[in-house]
Amino acid sequence: MNSDSLTTVWAPRALGVLSVLRIFTGLDLLQHGTGKILGFPIVPMFANVQINSLAGVGGLIELIGGFLFMIGLFTRPVAFILSGFTAAAYFIAHAGKGFYPVLNGGELAALFCFVFLYFAVAGGGVWSADALIKRA
């Protein structure tokens, strides 16, 4: 079997994997927002987050953006905004602590940034609200 036939066989399945990555990433970001804004799950670091603080505004972005991204509604613009948000989070909270993300605690923010940037270009995949709206 050559590589072209492998691509033909596996390419449609990869679209489902894209959606699974989007859903998991959205849920992962959403839990940061629910922890900061709704107090669930209980995260000691988020215990005293005020809605009008930088962390509170970040929590709202994580809550709303994470939900929209998870269901795949307005995926490209939401992903673009979240990419910038997580890049800013990296530079505000982590970059000053050192160059290497593994040492400055910024691995998750950096990874989020590039995953969201990818989705800003690729779209939400076949299992998304965007795809449902497009089919209707």
What proportions of the chain, in percent to the nearest 5, are helix, strand and coil? 75, 0, 25
pLDDT at 44: 92
Low-confidence ranges of the chain (pLDDT < 70): 1-4, 6
Three-state SS at 105 = coil
Give the residue extent of every domain in the chain: 3-135
Compute the distance between CA of residue 114 and CA of residue 136 in angstroms, rounded to an integer. Answer: 31
Write down the pLDDT at residue 107: 97
pLDDT of residue 8: 75
Spatial CB neighbours of 6, under 8 Å, sequence gap ≥ 6: none
Helices and strands (H and E) in the chain: how many: 6, 0
Mutual orientation of helices 54-71 and 75-93 as an angle, nearest 10°? Answer: 150
pTM higher than 0.85, yes or no?
Answer: yes
Q: How many CA atoms lie within 13 A of 66 on its CB side?
A: 22
- Residue 81: closest CA among 29, 134, 27, 133: 29
CA distance 84 to 16: 26
Return the pLDDT at 1: 59
Q: What is the per-residue pLDDT for 3?
A: 63
Type of residue at 15? L
